[in-house]
């Protein structure tokens, strides 16, 4: 499966910190340490942003149809808001959907609460 493979990151080697340390023998060790940690955190931030972008691209689409052969659609385009209605029995539903809709349209006395995507 394509999603089981690790993301494809750049093959650039990480900067060699030993060269910089050797050339800065006369500098304050605190400055050297600060410089190295700053470079490492920038590298980590770059990798995190790369992972985030790849995961977002991978999981924001859904295939409509058979597997990866169908049309790709954004999840936000096919998402519908959910509504919670009060007064249901909570039991097993044996009634046909059309009849439920007809009955619900006749009642319209119950309050509906909209659930946004961000609330889930």
In angstroms, rounded to a whole number, what is the distance separating the alpha carbons of residues 7 and 55?
Answer: 8
Q: What is the pLDDT of residues 19-31, one digit of tens each?
A: 555 555 566 888 8
In angstroms, rounded to a whole number, what is the distance separating the alpha carbons of residues 31 and 20?
Answer: 12
In angstroms, rounded to a whole number, what is the distance separating the alpha carbons of residues 65 and 72?
Answer: 9
Tokens of 21: 């340390």
Residue 19: phi, psi to the nearest 5?
-65, -45
- Calculate what percentage of the chain has a pLDDT beyond 70: 56
Q: What is the pTM of this model?
A: 0.35
Q: Say if residues 60 and 91 touch (Cβ distance below 8 Å).
A: no
């Amino acid at each position: 499966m394509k999603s089981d493979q690790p993301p494809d990151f750049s093959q650039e080697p990480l900067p060699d910190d030993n060269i910089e340390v050797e050339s800065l023998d006369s500098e304050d060790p605190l400055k050297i340490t600060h410089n190295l940690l700053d470079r490492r955190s920038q590298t980590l931030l770059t990798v995190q942003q790369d992972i985030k972008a790849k995961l977002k691209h991978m999981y924001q689409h859904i295939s409509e149809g058979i597997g990866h052969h169908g049309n790709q659609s954004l999840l936000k385009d096919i998402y519908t808001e959910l509504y919670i209605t009060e007064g249901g029995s909570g039991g097993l539903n044996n009634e046909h959907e059309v009849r439920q809709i007809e009955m619900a349209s006749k009642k319209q006395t119950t309050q509906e609460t909209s659930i946004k995507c961000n609330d889930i």
